[in-house]
């Protein structure tokens, strides 16, 4: 009994000593905060900010100069676009062979269920903070007072490490949403989880911060302070950053001055970033690496939305083992910058914001109109029943598609709209709502008229009969024969395109109800009509003249006639035909794109006529707007192309169609078109050819979100 009392007394004394130690530490921490606050608010600290920025740039320049000989020797000297990231790395370093990123390839699954209740959206700005070290949380909280406008906030706290902060944090910042997370992937694991939940949907701009200690660095605390001050220096600096991200469509990330790093910092992360990229896939040049080191930055919300596209889970993050390099978290830190570059987005440092903002404000202009070609095929017609079987639509082809090589994502399944039936006009109403919400200005519906009859015209007739489908539309006369091989060539013709006597009056009569509809698209006050193969139209100049005159007589002001640029598969435009048009439309992949085969890189290939790099297609896209005979050419883009559903092993595949690379093409096309121009997308819903803006099970609304970020700059 006496021994027990002695033991208890010893424990009490030890407990008292610990309490004294805690009070001393708290007092020291308070003094540290007081001193840091004094320094950070001092005039000398503010005045020396430019010098610190210059010093950071000098250090970066020295590092890059030191690495230059190695970079020159290892630069990819091959021709064409980069291919790194299109497929998982073929050669793996021994130390990372067991990384879950390398051993768990992407498997198609149902779309991630968005947890839209993760926080109520009240403001266009979201602050995301991850807290592992609760003792330095005040460094972040103190600087939030420098925010010049209201913001929403999500704070992730690590279970067993910082969850004690939940109650005081909610008391001091009542509008913040606090989430408890496991310690997977440091600050990047919770960030991916927020993306998977749809947390970034609907926001313009995101600030990402975390309680960085970097205990392996002697300047770890100073680094944290420098990073935080780099993103939250003052209300005015934040105001300028927000203005830049909202004004300049092509700025994606604003990093603290001196903290954008390059290829000299790849370390052991290149293969892991290649594995991340291959989950889209998109290509990148390792020598062009640029990313915000320290992982604190401002960015367009679209950048972080894209993290959900990889369908990562906690299983892709190895157990925490104090990695200094070569973990999934380290790879993701770099990958954010790689993604931004692949999307055609610039990364700038805080010190460069004022000059970049000045230029952006001088060049602010409206975006061009965006029109999407629309396939009206998805409903039952007797002809398809006879040719392909009862109830046939392209959904049958889409569902039966099979992958032709390892990493070939087939079948591609529709997303939220499902396998719809266009005989139901409410489907078009839902499509119109999605299109309008994401910056698509109208549908250009393919119109099938063969000289004596129309096919697949139920959707058009339904829209004309239902004015509640309030969305602009136009017609594209798809004047080519239908063939069993789906290519419009002359083999095994199912329905022949003919031009009987008086056909041009008959065709005008067929489309007149649409031309008169108040929703019909007009250019310079005239109804827009696209002719797919203008060069195949007999006596085209006369036919077009008749149409224009009749449209004038009918009070429509004439017609704005566009032809599709000549394709590899069909005829050029004779001078007389070109002179009768108002312009041309590019219609990829028919022409005007880069072609780079990557078939030799595709593992376990079992089919496909050829496999092309979508990124090379984008990089080689012809964006010139001056065409033959002085005609204006309107840019055309496609979010992807893969006609495996229709052609099986004879397909042509553009490997790597994804929202990231698509954004690069969309932005360049918008620049080429100019604010008064038009950009045409092939297509809204060509599911059997792998060209669709509509949501799918792979990228959800990703392609639509890409259109919106280009149109609206966010």
Residue 630 confidence (pLDDT): 86
What pLDDT was estimated at residue 76? 42
The CATH number assigned to the domain with range 369-594+623-643+659-712 reads 3.20.20.80
Alpha-carbon distance of 575 to 541, in angstroms, equals 10
Check: CB of residue 384 under 8 Å from CB of residue 692. no
- Mean pLDDT across 344-370: 86
pLDDT value, residue 59: 47
Q: How far is CA 99 from CA 195, 275, 323, 539, in A?
A: 22, 10, 13, 65
Strongest mean pLDDT among 70-84, 315-329, 388-402: 388-402
As a whole number, mean pLDDT of residues 274-279 equals 95
CATH topology of domain 53-78+112-362: Spore Coat Polysaccharide Biosynthesis Protein SpsA; Chain A (3.90.550)
225-251 pLDDT, tens digit each? 999 999 999 999 999 999 999 999 999
Tell whether the model's pLDDT for residue 51 goes beyond 70. no
On the question of pLDDT at 58 being above 90, the answer is no
The pLDDT of residue 34 is: 54
Band of residue 9 on the pLDDT scale cut at 50, 70, 90: confident
What is the structure's pLDDT at 486?
57
- What is the rounded average pLDDT for all residues in the chain? 88
Q: What is the pLDDT of residues 435-465, one digit of tens each?
A: 999 999 999 999 999 998 999 999 999 999 9
pLDDT-derived band at 298 (thresholds 50, 70, 90) equals: very high
* CA distance readout (Å), 502 to 21, 499, 507, 543, 648: 99, 8, 9, 10, 40
Residues 6+ away with beta carbon under 8 Å from 364: 247
Measured torsion, CA atoms of residues 593, 597, 599, 602, in degrees rounded to the nearest 10: -70
* CB-based contact 364:249 (threshold 8 Å): no
Q: CB neighbours of 679 closer than 8 A, spacing ≥ 6?
A: 368, 369, 370, 371, 634, 635, 636, 637, 666, 669, 670, 673
Element (H, E) at 491: none
Q: What is the pLDDT of residues 179-202, one digit of tens each?
A: 999 998 999 999 999 999 999 999
| Mean pLDDT calculated for residue range 530-555 | 97
Question: What is the rounded CA–CA span in Å between residue 308 and residue 195?
Answer: 5
What mean pLDDT is predicted for residues 291-307?
A: 97
Domain with CATH 3.20.20.80 in the chain: 369-594+623-643+659-712
| Three-state SS at 87 | coil
Better-predicted residue by pLDDT, 107 or 494: 494
Mean pLDDT of 558-580: 90
Q: Are strands 610-613 and 583-585 parallel, antiparallel or unpaired?
A: unpaired
3-state SS, residue 225 = helix
Delimit the CATH 3.90.550 region(s) of the chain.
53-78+112-362
Q: Quick check: 73 pLDDT over 60? A: no
Per-residue three-class SS string for 502-520: CHHHHHHHHHHHHHHCCCE
Measure the CA–CA gap between 382 and 164, rounded to whole angstroms: 68
Q: Are 691 and 703 in contact (CB under 8 A)?
A: no
Cα 553 to the center of its chain, rounded Å:
46
Look at residue 330 in the predicted model and tell me its pLDDT. Answer: 93
Contact 380, 423 (CB under 8 A): yes
* Tens of pLDDT, residues 500-510: 999 999 999 99
DSSP H or E segment with residue 298: strand 297-300
CA–CA distance, 367 with 678 (Å, rounded to integer): 9
User: Considering the entire predicted model, what is its pTM?
Assistant: 0.88
């Amino acid at each position: 009994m006496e021994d027990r009392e002695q033991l208890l007394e010893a424990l009490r004394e030890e407990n008292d000593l610990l309490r004294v130690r805690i009070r001393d530490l708290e007092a020291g921490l308070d003094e540290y905060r007081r001193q840091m606050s004094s320094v950070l608010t001092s005039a000398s600290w503010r005045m020396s900010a430019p010098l610190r920025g210059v010093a950071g740039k000098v250090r970066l320049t020295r590092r890059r100069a030191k690495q230059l000989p190695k970079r020159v020797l290892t630069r990819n000297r091959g021709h064409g676009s980069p291919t790194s990231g299109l497929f998982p790395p073929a050669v793996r370093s021994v130390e990372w062979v067991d990384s879950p990123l390398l051993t768990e390839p992407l498997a198609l699954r149902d779309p991630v269920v968005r947890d839209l209740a993760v926080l109520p959206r009240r403001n266009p700005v979201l602050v995301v903070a991850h807290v592992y070290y609760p003792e330095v949380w005040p460094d972040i909280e103190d600087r939030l007072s420098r925010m010049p406008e209201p913001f929403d906030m999500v704070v992730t706290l690590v279970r067993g490490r910082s969850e004690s902060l939940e109650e005081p944090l909610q008391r001091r910042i009542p509008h913040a949403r606090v989430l408890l997370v496991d310690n997977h992937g440091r600050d990047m694991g919770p960030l991916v989880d927020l993306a998977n939940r749809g947390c970034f949907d609907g926001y313009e701009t995101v600030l990402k911060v975390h309680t960085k200690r970097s205990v392996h660095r002697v300047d770890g605390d100073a680094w944290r302070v420098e990073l935080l001050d780099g993103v939250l220096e003052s209300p005015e600096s934040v105001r300028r950053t927000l203005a830049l991200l909202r004004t300049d469509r092509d700025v994606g990330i604003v990093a603290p001055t001196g903290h954008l790093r390059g290829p000299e910092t790849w370390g052991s992360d290149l293969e892991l970033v290649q594995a991340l990229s291959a989950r889209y896939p998109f290509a990148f040049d390792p020598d062009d690496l640029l990313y915000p080191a320290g992982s604190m930055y401002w960015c367009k919300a679209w950048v972080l939305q894209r993290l959900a596209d990889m369908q990562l889970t906690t299983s892709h993050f190895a157990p925490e083992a104090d990695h200094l390099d070569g973990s999934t978290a380290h790879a993701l830190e770099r990958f954010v910058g790689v993604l931004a570059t692949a999307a055609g987005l610039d990364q700038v440092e805080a010190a460069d914001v004022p000059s970049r903002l000045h230029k952006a404000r001088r060049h602010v202009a409206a975006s061009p109109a965006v029109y999407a070609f629309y396939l009206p095929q998805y409903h039952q017609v007797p002809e398809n029943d006879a040719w392909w079987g009862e109830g046939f639509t392209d959904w049958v082809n889409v569902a039966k598609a099979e992958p032709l090589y390892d990493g070939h994502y087939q079948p591609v399944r529709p997303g939220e709209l499902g396998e719809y039936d266009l005989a139901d006009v409410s489907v078009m109403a839902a499509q119109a709502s999605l299109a309008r919400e994401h910056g698509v200005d109208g549908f250009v519906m393919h119109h099938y008229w063969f000289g004596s009859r129309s096919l697949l015209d139920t959707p058009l007739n339904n829209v004309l009969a239902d004015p509640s489908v309030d969305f602009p539309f136009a017609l594209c006369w798809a004047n080519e024969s239908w063939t069993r091989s789906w290519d419009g060539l002359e083999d095994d013709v199912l329905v022949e395109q003919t031009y009987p006597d008086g056909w041009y009056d008959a065709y005008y009569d067929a489309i007149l109800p649409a031309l008169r509809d108040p929703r019909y698209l007009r250019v310079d006050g005239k109804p827009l009509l696209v002719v797919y193969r203008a060069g195949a139209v007999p006596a085209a100049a006369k036919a077009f003249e008749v149409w224009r005159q009749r449209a004038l007589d009918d009070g429509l002001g004439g017609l704005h006639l566009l032809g599709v640029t000549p394709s590899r598969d069909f005829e050029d435009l004779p001078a007389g035909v070109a002179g009768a048009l108002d312009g041309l439309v590019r219609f990829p992949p028919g022409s005007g794109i880069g072609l780079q085969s990557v078939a030799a890189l595709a593992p376990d290939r079992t089919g496909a006529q050829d496999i092309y790099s979508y990124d090379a297609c984008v990089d080689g896209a012809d964006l010139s707007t001056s065409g033959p005979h002085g005609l204006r050419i309107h840019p055309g883009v496609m979010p992807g192309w893969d006609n495996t559903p229709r052609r099986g092993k004879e397909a042509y595949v553009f490997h790597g169609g994804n929202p990231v690379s698509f954004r690069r093409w969309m932005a360049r096309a918008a620049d080429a078109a100019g604010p008064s121009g038009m950009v045409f997308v092939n297509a809204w819903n060509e599911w059997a050819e792998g060209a669709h803006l509509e949501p799918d099970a792979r990228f959800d609304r990703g392609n639509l979100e890409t259109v919106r970020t280009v149109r609206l700059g966010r």
